Amino acid sequence: MKFGGTSMEDAAAIDRVAAIVKTRLPERPFVVVSAMARVTDQLLAMAAAAGRGEREQTLDLCRHLRERHYLTAGELLGTGLHTELHGDLGAEFDALDELLRGIAAVGELTPRTSDYVVSFGERLSSMIATAAFLARGIPATLVDARQVIVTDSQHGRAVPQVEAINDRLQSRVKPLLEQRRVPIMGGFIGATREGIPTTIGRGGSDFSAALAGAGLDAERIEIWTDVDGMKTTDPRLCPEARRIKLISFEEAAELAYFGAKVLHPATVLPAVEKNIPVLVLNSRNPSNAGTRILSRTPRSHSLFKAIAAKNRITIVEIVAARMLMAHGFLAKVFEVFARHRCAVDVVSTSEVSISLTVDSNEAIPQIAADLEKLAFVKYAGRKAIVCLVGENLRDTPGVAAQVFDAIGDINVRMISQGASEINLTFVIDETDVPEAVRRLHAKFFAEVDPEVFD
Ligand code: ADP
Ligand code: ASP
Ligand code: MG
């Protein structure tokens, strides 16, 4: 059972989490929690401020964070029980203060130190959750993610080492489950084999939960969040979004990859490998059946399952009139992106040019400079990928015409239909996203198959 930041945002939310976990006790849950809502962003902001040498601002931000955690713990535990935890939380915050002072003194923030700073978010929330569970009669035991989630040393995006993790799960977590304890672990963080804290990418608590679920051969993986499951589109963009009752692993993975924030893209992989169903559920509305992600779903009458949109995309256009068709040219182009560890999402080629998209990042000017050695290069940011996903896309003719008819006069910069043929993807200006998504949603989800959608 994984509870996201929104499910951990304050004492009332954590109280709901405890009540939900209680209903699952006979099934022997393993609990993964995120940092309290917005804390990871705040820790990153603090680390950045410290890196700029802004000592006082940094410590001020940290004081607010300390107050919020104390307050939450106090509300959850009452004064008596709070004393012990208060001391433990205080020790963590003292260590964080010291770390931030150190960063501010040096005036330099390395990826390694940044990971160390953000790791406090999940450590603090898991400490509070453990105490709150115990106070509510749940036999909880805190598990240190740094001793279970073994990763490589790519800070900020460390890659979990599955075999080592499975060993640790067997030796450190399985015995707790056998003793009917409820292990609680912070998501998102891990450590290298040498014990240096790492993080596995933003939104990574879902991934932690999936790794644990797969490693422990869980019956199912529950992702608890603040919406009634995966929706036909981001409910913040389009309030008419409907709940998807059933979706395949493949469809969910495409959606997550192309921006449906509700699920981390890597989450479904460990689940797929072991065919473990993933459920997306609402901690504010636990009786709702949410979304079930399965290896196979029944055929639906609806063309699409959902629409996702991902902002902060940059289009890179490489024009090389004579070279493009020369063998080896594309390999050279992609080698540049690989060297900068930059993933390419959408690609389209013409006789004389190749256009591709990457997530906007600070390496782009350098990538462009390297590409300039091969060809003429242009790039433009503030673009967005819109992606329509559905297995029925595979054998329905005329889909593209319907999609582009629906979006009307919105300027489309690139189009691609995924090789897997379960997604149709196109690139537009960021500012056009809300309108494009609303138009598409109105066209494709006004009437839907009641077996699959709510
Ligand atoms: P958590 O803190 O639980 O991890 P997130 O903020 O990461 O929560 O993800 C939940 C949010 O994802 C929802 O509040 C919703 O606004 C957003 N979201 C984006 N796309 C979708 C979608 N297709 N279905 C459901 N929620 C979505
Ligand atoms: N707290 C981390 C983040 O905000 C991980 C997570 O919530 O999944 O990215
Ligand atoms: Mg999330």
Summarize pLDDT for 356-393 with one digit per residue, the tens: 999 988 899 999 999 999 899 999 999 999 999 998 88
Confirm or reject: Cβ of 203 under 6 Å from ligand 1: yes
Distance CA 213, CA 29 (A): 10
Distance CA 10, CA 76 (A): 9
- Per-residue pLDDT, 353: 87
Whether residue 197 sits in one domain with residue 95: yes
Per the CB < 8 A criterion, the answer to whether 429 and 383 are in contact is: yes
Whether residue 312 sits in one domain with residue 211: no
From residue 41, how far is each of 36, 203, 337 by CA, in Å?
A: 10, 11, 27
Residue 301 within a domain: no
- DSSP state, residue 57: H
* Final residue of a structural domain among 219, 244, 274: 219
**Identity of the residue numbered 43:** L
Whether pLDDT at 419 is above 90: no
- Per-residue pLDDT, 323: 65
Q: 84 pLDDT band (50/70/90 cuts)? A: confident
CA of 157 to the centre of ligand 3 (A): 15
Confirm or reject: Cβ of 306 under 6 Å from ligand 1: yes
Distance CA 436, CA 131 (A): 46
Q: Which atom of ligand 1 is nearest to the CA of 233?
A: 23
pTM of the model: 0.93
- DSSP state, residue 143: E
Distance CA 68, CA 346 (A): 42
The angle, 0 to 180 degrees and rounded to 10, between the axes of the packed helices 55-106 and 39-51 is 60
**Identity of the residue numbered 157:** R
Q: 82 pLDDT band (50/70/90 cuts)? A: confident
Residue 376 within a domain: yes
Distance CA 88, CA 110 (A): 27
* Final residue of a structural domain among 219, 245, 262: 219
Whether residue 311 sits in one domain with residue 213: no
* Final residue of a structural domain among 219, 237, 262: 219
Distance CA 156, CA 111 (A): 7
Confirm or reject: Cβ of 188 under 6 Å from ligand 2: yes
Tens-digit pLDDT profile for residues 162-189: 999 999 999 999 999 999 999 999 999 9
Whether residue 115 sits in one domain with residue 18: yes
From residue 20, how far is each of 204, 245, 284, 386 by CA, in Å?
A: 22, 20, 10, 35
Mutate to test the pocket of ligand 2, among 3, 31, 34 (most ligand atoms within 8 A of CB): 34
CA of 446 to the centre of ligand 2 (A): 33
Q: Which atom of ligand 2 is nearest to the CA of 202?
A: 9
Give the tokens for residue 122.
Answer: 């999940």
Residue 416 within a domain: yes
- DSSP state, residue 337: H
Confirm or reject: Cβ of 187 under 6 Å from ligand 1: no
Residue 69 within a domain: yes
Query: Do the bridges between strand 221-225 and strand 278-282 make them parallel or antiparallel, or are there none, so unpaired?
Result: parallel
Query: Do the bridges between strand 306-319 and strand 353-359 make them parallel or antiparallel, or are there none, so unpaired?
Result: antiparallel
Whether residue 353 sits in one domain with residue 207: no
- Per-residue pLDDT, 78: 85
CATH of the domain at 338: 3.30.2130.10
Tens-digit pLDDT profile for residues 318-329: 998 766 667 788
CATH of the domain at 14: 3.40.1160.10
Confirm or reject: Cβ of 284 under 6 Å from ligand 1: no
Q: Which domain holds residue 40?
A: 2-219
Whether residue 430 sits in one domain with residue 317: yes
Confirm or reject: Cβ of 205 under 6 Å from ligand 2: yes
Counting the structural domains of the chain, the total is 2
Partners of 447 in the β-ladder: none
* Full 3-state SS string of 238-304: CCCCCEECEEEHHHHHHHHHCCCCCCCCCCHHHHHHHCCCEEEEECCCCCCCCEEEECCCCCCCCCC
- DSSP state, residue 305: S
- Per-residue pLDDT, 324: 60
- Per-residue pLDDT, 407: 95
Closest ligand to C-alpha of residue 186 is 2
**Count of CB atoms within 10 A of residue 172's CB?**
15
Whether residue 324 sits in one domain with residue 195: no
CA of 235 to the centre of ligand 3 (A): 15
- Per-residue pLDDT, 215: 97
Whether residue 49 sits in one domain with residue 159: yes
CA of 122 to the centre of ligand 2 (A): 8
From residue 134, how far is each of 84, 127, 173 by CA, in Å?
A: 13, 11, 18
Whether residue 328 sits in one domain with residue 213: no
Tens-digit pLDDT profile for residues 97-121: 999 999 999 999 999 999 999 999 9
Least confidently predicted of 113-117, 190-194, 257-261, 303-307:
257-261
Closest ligand to C-alpha of residue 208 is 2
**Count of CB atoms within 10 A of residue 376's CB?**
13
Q: 406 pLDDT band (50/70/90 cuts)? A: very high
Partners of 347 in the β-ladder: 356
Distance CA 161, CA 208 (A): 12
Residue 6 within a domain: yes
Whether residue 313 sits in one domain with residue 203: no
Closest ligand to C-alpha of residue 311 is 1
Whether pLDDT at 31 is above 80: yes
Whether pLDDT at 273 is above 80: yes
- Per-residue pLDDT, 398: 87
- Per-residue pLDDT, 417: 83
What values do phi and psi take at 229, rounded to 5? 95, -170
Residue predicted with more confidence, 403 or 328:
403
Residue 132 within a domain: yes
Residue 167 within a domain: yes
Report the phi/psi class of residue 53: left, alpha or beta, with left for phi > 0 and alpha for psi in -120 to 50: left
Mutate to test the pocket of ligand 1, among 16, 225, 291 (most ligand atoms within 8 A of CB): 225
Whether pLDDT at 336 is above 80: yes
At 324 the three-state DSSP class reads coil
Whether pLDDT at 80 is above 90: no
From residue 346, how far is each of 307, 311, 343, 383 by CA, in Å?
A: 16, 13, 10, 12
pLDDT average, residue stretch 82-91: 91
Residue 232 within a domain: no
Mean pLDDT value across the chain: 94
Distance CA 130, CA 184 (A): 7
Per the CB < 8 A criterion, the answer to whether 354 and 219 are in contact is: no
Whether pLDDT at 146 is above 80: yes
DSSP H helical segments within 4-149, as ranges? 11-23, 39-51, 55-106, 111-135
Give the tokens for residue 336.
Answer: 């540049």
Q: Find, among 424, 380, 44, 431, the residue nearest to 199 by Cα.
A: 44
Whether pLDDT at 239 is above 90: yes
